[in-house]
Amino acid sequence: MVVVIPARGGSKGVPLKNLRPVAGRSLVARAVDAARAAALVTDVLVSTDHAGIAREAVAAGARIVERPDELSGDTASSESAVLHALDTLAANGQPQPTITVLLQCTSPFIDPADLDEAIRRVLVGSADVSFSAVEDHGFLWTRDTAGNVLAVGHEAAHRPRRQDRAPQYRETGAFYAMRTSGLRACRHRFFGTIDILEVPAWTAPEIDTLEDLQAVSELAARRAHAAGSAALLDVDALVTDFDGVHTDDAAYVSQDGTETVRVNRGDGLGVSRLTRAGVPLLILSTEVNPVVSARAAKLGVPVLHGIADKAGALREWMREHRLDPRRVAYLGNDVNDLPALRLVGWPLAVADARPEVLAEARLTLAASGGHGAVREACERVLAGRAAAQAAPSGTPFSHVHPGAAPAPELHTSPVATATA
């Protein structure tokens, strides 16, 4: 049961789309995650022409099929990539899989259980092809060559109620489970007995534009927060931005130009508890206003401010304190936090963060900046440490953020085997 994920590097609508993050995980890594989590899948291949995508896919646990130039252009079909992957397997002496699944990176919400069900239906002989779709009650229209407007699939003069209409289904484009022998014979994803696997509507969004990416990122952030409202942070240190995190990102300017900000006393209590527990905390800010150092002094924590290169400063601070980046949390709110967020295992966002930050965050907090976000982060760290200490010896408490781990080098053989 082989999953093939086409992931070329030449996307025009969203450059390097397959490396764009949604909830802290790139689209190609999310696709690999979904495939590997399906119980019936035995192998996951990513077909790509881009070294960066290959490294990301290998780090996520996939094997790489190097796609030739003639199959990497805008007009190359997904089927051509899948068939090439199967040919590559055969050339390396591996048997033809019984079932081949085409899985698309552009659908970031694939449920592994749905993937398993599609494979099962083909495996037991109920269908030759099973693909994901959602019920659609829309009325479709088109124009003919003369410009006349025509109804599609319904009569314009007859408008039955939704419950009186025969159900229609729209492909999500997420996955297609196919009997391999039929795919090879027909060289197309639809053949023989075709089955529709209806999936929840929230899993259906596809990403074709930057607007799609933003909408999906916001949806992922909402769902991640709902699912992880009680999530604990098993980390060794917490680093925070200042403006928009300790504050609500507003400033009060007096007539002589002096700036003041509003902070949350509850944040101070959270910081105090965290530092008493021996957890390192750092405020890292681009702001040069003395108010940053004054607040840090009040909290009794170190501060680096007036920093243009936040990622460089964070990397050096972690090195000096001998911290594993995968066990560090960084809490940010705006685009200047993105390089730092990408360095750590737990990138966090305040509730009112910019969409780009929400997309990068592994966890979005319930509280907004200046309204208890720092307190919430501190309490989650403390709760995570307590849970880790209570866990039996040798029991892993939480998973390291996969995107933070260094990716192995890209192999040059036609099929690259992922390192464990």
Q: Which residues are bridge partners to 346 per DSSP?
A: 329
Q: Which CATH class is domain 233-397?
A: alpha beta
- Give the pLDDT score at 398: 38
The answer to whether 207 and 104 are in contact (CB under 8 A) is no
What φ, ψ does residue 189 adopt, rounded to 5°?
A: -75, -15
How many Å apart are CA 301 and CA 314, to the nearest integer?
15
pTM to 2 decimal places: 0.69
Residue 140's CB: how many other CB atoms inside 10 A?
12
| Contact partners, residue 369, CB within 8 Å, separation at least 6 | 243, 244, 245, 246, 247, 248, 249, 333, 350, 352, 353
- Give the pLDDT score at 139: 84
The two domains 2-206+407-416 and 233-397 share their CATH topology (first three levels equal): no
Which of 47, 37, 56 lies closest to 80 in space, CA to CA? Answer: 47
Q: Specify whether domain 2-206+407-416 bears CATH 3.90.550.10.
A: yes
Q: Which pLDDT tens digit goes with each residue over 53-63?
A: 999 999 999 99
How many Å apart are CA 250 and CA 268, to the nearest integer?
19
Half-sphere exposure of 5 (CA within 13 A, CB side): 35
Q: Is the Cα torsion angle 63, 68, 72, 78 positive or negative in sign?
A: negative
* Helices of type H across 102-194: 112-123, 180-186
Output the tens digit of pLDDT for each of the chain's 420 residues.
999 999 988 777 788 889 988 877 889 999 999 999 999 999 999 999 999 999 999 999 999 999 998 888 878 899 999 999 999 999 999 999 999 999 999 999 999 999 999 999 999 999 999 999 998 888 889 999 999 999 887 888 888 777 777 788 999 999 999 999 999 999 999 999 999 999 999 888 888 888 888 888 778 766 765 655 556 788 999 999 999 999 999 988 888 888 889 999 999 999 999 999 999 999 999 988 889 999 999 999 999 999 999 999 999 999 999 999 989 999 999 999 999 999 998 999 999 999 889 888 888 898 999 999 999 999 999 988 888 887 665 544 433 333 333 333 333 344 444 433
Half-sphere exposure of 270 (CA within 13 A, CB side): 23
Which of 305, 240, 230, 226 lies closest to 268 in space, CA to CA? Answer: 240
The answer to whether 238 and 340 are in contact (CB under 8 A) is no
How many Å apart are CA 397 and CA 386, to the nearest integer?
11
How many Å apart are CA 36 and CA 41, to the nearest integer?
7
How many Å apart are CA 405 and CA 326, to the nearest integer?
7
Q: Would you list the domain boundaries of the chain?
A: 2-206+407-416, 233-397
How many Å apart are CA 68 and CA 236, to the nearest integer?
44
- Give the pLDDT score at 327: 93
- Give the pLDDT score at 391: 64
What φ, ψ does residue 364 adopt, rounded to 5°?
A: -105, 125
Instruction: Give the end-to-end CA distance of the chain in Å, rounded to a whole number.
Output: 20
The answer to whether 341 and 332 are in contact (CB under 8 A) is yes
DSSP string computed for 400-414? --GGGSPPPPPP-SS
Pairing outcome for strands 346-349 and 168-179: unpaired
- Give the pLDDT score at 74: 79
